[in-house]
Copies of this chain bind each other. A is one copy, B any other.
Amino acid sequence: MSANSRLTIAAHALAWIGLYQRQGHEVATSEQIATSANTNPVVIRRLLGELRRAGLVESRRGAGAGWSLARELESMTLLDVYEAVEPGPLFAMHRTTPDQGCVVGHGIQPAMQNIYEGIEETLRHELARVTLETVLRDVLAAPR
């Protein structure tokens, strides 16, 4: 599916910030999170920027700057994160308009659009069932 890792990395970042704050720290830096996720700080800042626009995190600038949660992990779901970092639909239509003179070419897009909408609704429902608190709990439950 040519899947991307945005949802995974965003969840990683949120879990990291959440745990760090529970350990008494005020803010986490993109540098620290990037080290944990084994990627570049700019990648983290970009993703967290989208999460900030969605109201999930806040950032502070200047010296001693960094990122903090805007809400409890308990109140965030994977759906919130998904909608913040994934722009498009799950399934794409034809890249070029099908032949409108053909019965199938004419009816296929509305038909698939309808079907896909129902499926994406179910997907969103599933994503909404998983809170970031659950994610962190599962992360900490991993055998070492």
Contacts and interface: CB of A to CB of B under 8 A. Distances in A.
Contact of A90 (B3, B11, B95, B110): B3
Contacts of A8: 91-94, 108, 112
A7 interface: yes
Main secondary structure of the interface of A (DSSP, over half): helix
A96 B140 contact: no
Contacts of A3: 1-2, 88-92
Interface stretch (A51-59, A60-68, A117-125): A117-125
Nearest to A127: B119
A36 to B, nearest CB: 4
A27 interface: no
A5 B114 contact: no
Nearest to A140: B107
9 contacts: A1-B88, A2-B2, A12-B104, A19-B104, A38-B97, A38-B98, A107-B141, A119-B123, A122-B126
Interface of A: 1-5, 7-9, 11-12, 15-16, 19, 35-39, 78, 86-99, 102-108, 110-112, 114-115, 118-119, 122-123, 126-127, 130, 135, 138-142, 144
